[in-house]
Amino acid sequence: MTLKKESVDPALFALFTDLPRESVVEVEGSVHRSGKSRRGVELTPTSARVISRAESPLPLGVVDKVGAELATRLDHRTLDLRKPAVRAIFELRSSLLQALRTAYLRQGFLEVETPKLLRQGAEGGATLFPVEYFDQRAFLAQSPQLYKQMLIGAGLERVLEIAPAFRAEPSDTVRHITEFTSLDAEVGYIEGADDLRSILETVLVEAFRQVRRELEERGNPLAGDVPELSAPFPRIPFSTAEEWLGRPGAEADLGTEDEKAVGERAVREFGSPFYFIIDFPTRVKIHTFYAQRKDDNPRLTGYFDLDFRGLEIASGGPREHRYDRLVENIRTAGLDPALFPGYLEAFRFGMPPHGGWGFGVDRMVQMLAGLPNIREARLFPRDRYRLDP
Ligand code: ATP
């Protein structure tokens, strides 16, 4: 809009110069081409109506170059989201969700929705949020794991769920939040973990291509950050990762710094942003009673992580489909099989070999948009301290 004093009605000029930033106004006027304006057109107003006058001062600048602290930005998220650079992240997120969904459906997956109020969490323990449920105690779902497997037992063969997962993560890290979006897939009639990995990589190659194309069409500045992928992604045995870290055979889980170090080496050696870390020992994936032991070796699972440039994005593997062994695994994990009646029933009347994975959408957006903190990848993040807005 051009506001030259000499060409605009004085009352209108006064209205605009007095109007606080970010107010909502309806303006009428004449539009003409202009080389000076960013959009190539300028508007000379003839009348204006203030629809919503913004309060002043703003708690957070929208057009200012000066960056605000993340906490301030999240406290005033509606203003923060007006910044084009922030909106670009959520265009990427929307495009990624859509592209992943399309790619999975093309692979024959059925999209499902499973309960988020549960009597028992999949992995038990410390990260469950209890909920008052009338006169009972319930928990918010950490993962749709057990239901996905029951649906394989129901003959659905390939299921996909994109839904919130809740984890009472007390630690304050840049890659954990208490409510995140999990994309969970489960596949029946598999022969081994490679069947799973090859679906996952095919879906990602296709989805990334679509996201990049869409963002380019929209002129989104993040388009160039979406890499062109090619399958297969490198596979690094857990034991090799331990050798790289200088602690062969230690069988300790990979911490944040370990993941980063392995990531740097993997990307350098293989040139792929995505890579699998395969064959996790049972001791590392101890909590997952539903993980199948590889070749019935009690020390080794066929489990894998999928990492992107040093951050774990997904984790999965073949599940135990044999009833007796599953019950044994539940006992070994220190849990009571009686807590899982509906789940275990699904294994007693015909259950094919199957497996799947959980994929963290927020971490994927964080990495693609180059965000230092996962909270920036969600509109209204939840963490140990933040329940508002
Ligand atoms: P980590 O070891 O990094 O805490 P995890 O082993 O608990 O993750 P899984 O239970 O295997 O994670 O969940 C699968 C995926 O879900 C993870 O790879 C990650 O992308 C995502 N995820 C898990 N927990 C969180 C969380 N608290 N916040 C954001 N994403 C998460």
User: Which residue's alpha carbon is at the smallest distance from atom 5 of ligand 1?
Assistant: 315
List, as one string, the DSSP characters of 70-113.
HHHHHHTHHHHTTSHHHHHHHHHHHHHHHHHHHHHHHTT-EE--
Count of domains forming the chain: 2
Query: Is the four-CA dihedral 208, 212, 213, 214 of positive or negative sign?
Result: positive
Peptide linkage before 130 cis (omega within 30 of 0):
no
Our answer to whether residue 312 is catalytic in this structure is: yes
pLDDT digits (tens, 9 = 90+) for 213-264: 999 999 999 999 999 999 999 999 999 999 999 998 888 889 999 999 999 9
How far does the centroid of ligand 1 lie from the alpha carbon of residue 180, in Å? 9
Statement to judge: residues 248 and 330 lie in one domain: yes
What's the chain's average pLDDT?
93
133 within domain boundaries: yes
pLDDT confidence of 283, banded at 50, 70, 90? confident
Statement to judge: residues 53 and 88 lie in one domain: no
Check: CB of residue 104 under 8 Å from CB of residue 128. no
pLDDT digits (tens, 9 = 90+) for 101-159: 999 999 999 999 999 999 876 556 678 999 999 999 899 999 999 999 999 999 999 99
The active-site residue out of 175, 319, 321, 378 is 175
Q: Which of 169, 84, 176, 174 is nearest to 370 (CA)?
A: 174
Q: What angle do CA 318, 319, 320 make, to 5 degrees?
A: 130
Question: What residues does ligand 1 touch, defined as CB less than 6 Å away?
Answer: 167, 169, 176-177, 180, 182, 312-315, 358, 360, 362-363, 374
Residue 300's domain comprises 84-377
| pLDDT value of residue 124 | 62
| pLDDT value of residue 284 | 82
Instruction: Output DSSP code: residue 372.
Output: S
Statement to judge: residues 116 and 15 lie in one domain: no
Statement to judge: residues 203 and 310 lie in one domain: yes
385 within domain boundaries: no
Statement to judge: residues 225 and 141 lie in one domain: yes
388 within domain boundaries: no
349 CB contacts (<8 Å, ≥6 apart)?
A: 153
Statement to judge: residues 227 and 298 lie in one domain: yes
CATH code at position 336: 3.30.930.10
How far does the centroid of ligand 1 lie from the alpha carbon of residue 174, in Å? 12
How far does the centroid of ligand 1 lie from the alpha carbon of residue 360, in Å? 6
Our answer to whether residue 77 is catalytic in this structure is: no
109 within domain boundaries: yes
The active-site residue out of 42, 91, 157, 169 is 169
- Between helices 361-368 and 84-106, what is the axis angle to 10°? 130
The active-site residue out of 73, 212, 363, 378 is 363
Index of the ligand 1 atom closest to the CA of residue 253: 2
